[in-house]
């Protein structure tokens, strides 16, 4: 089998000054990509800023014989997103791969997290992915090619004490699914990972035994190979979500079970059949919102036929 290579490809990796992002950047560069190493260089909570992390990783790539440049723009503003993409275009004239990895951490009880910390968390994770993605999108559309890898988190399964982080990471899932639908006709594939790895962000977890276990078994270098595959031209999927860590990768999916159809629909009918509502037996995995509606169609009036296109006529008038 041929080696997974990125010769003549240009990749942007955000938050690449350390941890997961550094490993993504190093591997892509070793496999032939020209890599823009973006990192604002702030603290784990997003404060501060330094050019050192991005410059250090870019220098590391160049010392190993690769091609890289450092970028220290923040991702959480539209201007920052544009500046990141513009630098890659000025240097190499194209953007083929975008790995949205930049992130911050933080915690606290739900009712005590101040609004500005919520805004910052959403700004870096969700708006950051949006800002850089939006700037790169016209370039990818024009070339008819692109690979985007977003970074969600297993925390979306439910984690107390850091609700603004979990909310932001859940937003990445919706962003990935929607963007994959838009990119498919243009040859752009968009997927997301939920990494399990020891990093500066997971180092903030207070449980020492858990952190020691992560350090031993879940180094960030064991996530990067799967990210490289998702970033490759031959990756077969789009709109998918994967848990990745410790050498293991597995699909995570949004499934819909048959549930129970009440006729007539009353609170008592759902109460009496709640076990059916909750049962995962016979689940399906819709690839789009319209497919999810179509799964219901046989039960709510369309008798198994495809429902009307929700987007038809949306641009009329």
Catalogue the active-site residues: 165
Tokens standing for residue 59: 């220098």
* Packing angle of the helix pair 128-143, 78-92 (nearest 10 deg): 40
Which DSSP helix (H) or strand (E) runs through 83? Answer: helix 78-92
User: Is 130 within 8 Å of 175 (Cβ atoms)?
Assistant: yes
List all residues 6 or more positions away from 8 whose beta carbon is below 8 Å from its beta carbon.
32
Q: How far apart (Å, rounded) are the C-alpha atoms in residues 289 and 283?
A: 15
CA–CA distance from 41 to each of 14, 44, 189, 229 (Å)? Answer: 11, 9, 29, 27
Residues in CB range of 222: below 8 A, 6 or more apart: 197, 245, 246, 247
Label each residue of 246-295 as H, E or C.
CCEEEEECCCECCCCCCCCCCHHHHHHCHHHHHCCCCCECCCCHHHHHHH
Identify the helix (H) or strand (E) that includes residue 53.
Answer: helix 52-63
Per the DSSP assignment, residues forming a β-bridge with 100 are: 150
Q: Among residues 245, 272, 248, 243, which one has the least CA distance to residue 260?
A: 272
The DSSP result for 177-210, as a single string, is: HHHHHHHGGGTEEEEEEEE----TTGGG-S-HHH
Give me 260's structure tokens. 């129970």
- 64 contacts 40 by C-beta, under 8 angstroms: no
Q: Which of the 8 DSSP states describes residue 142? A: H
């Amino acid at each position: 089998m041929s080696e997974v290579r990125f010769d003549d490809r240009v990749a942007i990796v955000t938050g690449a000054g350390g941890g997961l992002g550094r490993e993504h950047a190093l591997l892509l560069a070793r496999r032939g990509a020209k890599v823009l190493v973006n990192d604002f260089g702030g603290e784990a909570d997003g404060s501060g800023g330094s050019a050192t992390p991005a410059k250090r990783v870019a220098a590391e790539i160049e010392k190993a014989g690769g091609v890289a440049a450092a970028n220290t723009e923040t991702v959480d503003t539209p201007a920052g997103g544009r500046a990141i993409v513009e630098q890659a275009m000025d240097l190499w004239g194209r953007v083929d791969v975008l790995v949205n990895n930049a992130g911050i951490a933080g915690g606290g009880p739900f009712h005590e997290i101040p609004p500005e910390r919520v805004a910052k968390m959403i700004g870096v994770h969700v708006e950051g992915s949006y800002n850089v993605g939006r700037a790169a999108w016209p370039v990818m559309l024009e070339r008819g090619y692109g690979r985007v890898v977003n970074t969600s988190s297993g925390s979306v399964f439910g984690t107390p004490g850091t609700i603004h982080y979990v909310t932001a990471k859940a937003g990445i899932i919706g962003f990935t699914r929607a963007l994959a639908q838009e990119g498919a006709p243009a040859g752009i594939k968009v997927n997301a990972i939920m990494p399990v790895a020891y990093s500066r962000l997971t180092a903030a977890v207070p449980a020492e035994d858990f952190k020691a276990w992560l350090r031993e078994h879940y180094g960030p270098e064991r996530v990067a190979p799967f990210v490289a595959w998702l970033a490759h031209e031959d990756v077969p999927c789009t709109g998918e979500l994967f848990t990745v860590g410790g050498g293991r990768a597995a699909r995570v999916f949004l499934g819909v079970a048959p549930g129970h159809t009440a006729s007539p629909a009353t609170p008592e009918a759902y109460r009496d059949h709640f076990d059916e509502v909750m049962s995962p037996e016979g689940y399906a995995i819709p690839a789009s919102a319209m497919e999810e509606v179509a799964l219901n169609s046989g039960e709510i009036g369309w008798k198994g036929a495809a429902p009307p296109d929700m987007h038809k006529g949306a641009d009329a008038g």
